[in-house]
Amino acid sequence: MSEKIFVTQPSLPELDEFIPYMKEIWENKWLTNNGPFHQQFEDELAKYLGVKHLSVFSNGTLALITALQALRITGEVITTPYSFVATTHSLWWNNIKPVFVDIENKYYNLDPKKIEAAITPQTTAIMPVHVYGNPCHVEEIQRIADTYGLRVIYDAAHAFGVKKNGESVLNWGDLSILSFHATKVYNTIEGGAIICQDEKTKRRIDLLKNFGIADEVTVIEPGINAKLNEVQAAFGILQLKHVDRYIADRKKVADLYAKLLKDVEGISYITQEEGIDYTYAYFPILINTEKFGMNRDDVYAELQKHDIFGRRYFYPLITDFPIYRGMPSATAENLPVATRVTKEVLCLPIYPHLPLEQVERVCNLLKSFKK
């Protein structure tokens, strides 16, 4: 048996590099609750990302839940069925009804042309996802939000470091959230952030992630505990020193996949628009059964026989899970593009230290399956 290759593997610095940070924490005896590393991390991360204000979190899901609380979102929120369940779960935890709108054909993001038809008097916000880190149609979404007086909260869990025309995509909308989970381009083991546009909103978010505590004797909100501890904040600072290399190495993997799979009939992949700085979070391919001669699930299973563990992100659709499938907007007729894409997508292994010979091996196997 060869070594198992998973869809991803965490990017890690050398262990020795982390020890001095740990020593400092041990000496400080300050482990959490807005400690010195936490503050330094927020400053350095905001600079790296090119955003004005951000608040780091213990994970992306709590960041999403808190983002909705920060803007006091209620009623209905328009969102996508083509994402990780955390997107919609964050609405559920806030007692908000998700209204599902289909995705477009090219990047599999929320289709702006279909948003207006889903707006009702109860709609208060749009929650699009930059799926795989490809930017949504941000200008059109903002135009709709402005016309109807809606808030926009981007689930940017996959969009660490992504830029459009030189500017961070995280600056679009009212708020954006990031995930720093182990499987992401940039990780703090677990972690996340909310990016906001002004200091006042940051103060509110900071209160909400710390039980709503304003001072020793004042609790002004029913906040939650979503703080990032000092060990992970320090790890985040260290990871920032390496992340450009992680992204450059991911690009090599993605470029090789693109080169080797370019002319394989029945396999397609996303190509970036001009002006996008992409960070290669995922390498999804779409398998057209008729043209390729084998369906996605068989390709997925065949690769596993060779110890290659791709993932069907995002299958099933969120709207296929029992908690959501009874909703009027969750029908396949309402979501034809998502219903097709979820059956065809397979995310191939991608991470900085994935040997390029393994990329070649995956591509050769795929070519050998073609009928």
C-alpha distance from residue 136 to each of 31, 131, 185, 315, 342 (Å): 38, 8, 18, 20, 18
Q: Is residue 179 a contact point for ligand T4K (CB under 6 A)?
A: yes
User: Nearest approach, Cβ of 60 to ligand T4K (angstroms)?
Assistant: 3
Give yes or no for residue 347 binding ligand T4K (CB under 6 A): no
Distances (CA, A) of 209 to 173, 182, 336: 21, 21, 38
CA 101/CA 85 separation, integer angstroms: 15
Whose CB is nearest to ligand T4K?
60
Q: Is 196 helix (H, G, I), strand (E, B) or coil?
A: strand
Q: How far is the CB of 181 from ligand T4K (least distance, A)?
A: 3
CB of residue 206 to ligand T4K, shortest distance in Å:
19
Any contact of residue 183 with ligand T4K (CB under 6 A)?
yes
Judged by CB under 6 A, the residue of 60, 135, 223, 266 near ligand T4K is: 60
10 is a site residue for ligand T4K (CB under 6 A): yes
* CA-closest candidate to residue 115, choices 134, 85, 136: 136
- Is 6 a binding residue for ligand T4K by CB under 6 A? The answer is yes
* 64/264 with CB nearer ligand T4K: 64
* Candidate list 77, 86, 338, 363; residue touching ligand T4K; CB under 6 A: 86
Choices 31-39, 105-113, 227-235, 308-316 (CB under 6 A): range interacting with ligand T4K? 308-316
Q: How many CB atoms lie within 10 A of CB 21?
A: 17
Q: Nearest approach, Cβ of 215 to ligand T4K (angstroms)?
A: 29
Its sign, for the CA torsion 122, 123, 125, 127, is: positive
Site string for ligand T4K, 122-141 (x = CB under 6 A): -------x------------
Closest CA to 257 of 353, 359, 365: 359
Here the tokens at position 106 are 């090219």
Long-range own/partner contacts, residues 219-225 (CB < 8 A, 24 or more apart): 221/69, 224/62, 224/65, 224/66, 225/58
Query: Helix, strand, coil proportions of the chain in percent (round to 5)?
Result: 45, 20, 40
Taking the complex as a whole, the smallest distance from the CB of residue 333 to ligand T4K amounts, in Å, to: 25
Task: Report if residue 87 touches ligand T4K, rule: CB under 6 A.
Answer: yes
Stretch that binds ligand T4K, among 15-23, 41-49, 177-185, 195-203 (CB under 6 A): 177-185
Based on the shown chain and the rule CB under 6 A, indicate whether residue 89 belongs to the binding site for ligand T4K: no
Q: Residue 264 or residue 286: which is nearer to ligand T4K going by CB?
A: 286
Least separation in angstroms between residue 306's CB and ligand T4K is 16
Inter-residue long-range contacts of 201-207, CB under 8 Å, 24+ positions, other chains counted: 201/53, 201/70, 201/175, 202/53, 202/54, 202/55, 204/70, 205/55, 205/66, 205/67, 205/70, 206/34, 206/55
192 binds ligand T4K (CB under 6 A): yes
Interface residue list for ligand T4K (CB under 6 A): 6-10, 59-61, 83-84, 86-87, 129, 155, 157-158, 179, 181-183, 192, 309, 311, 313
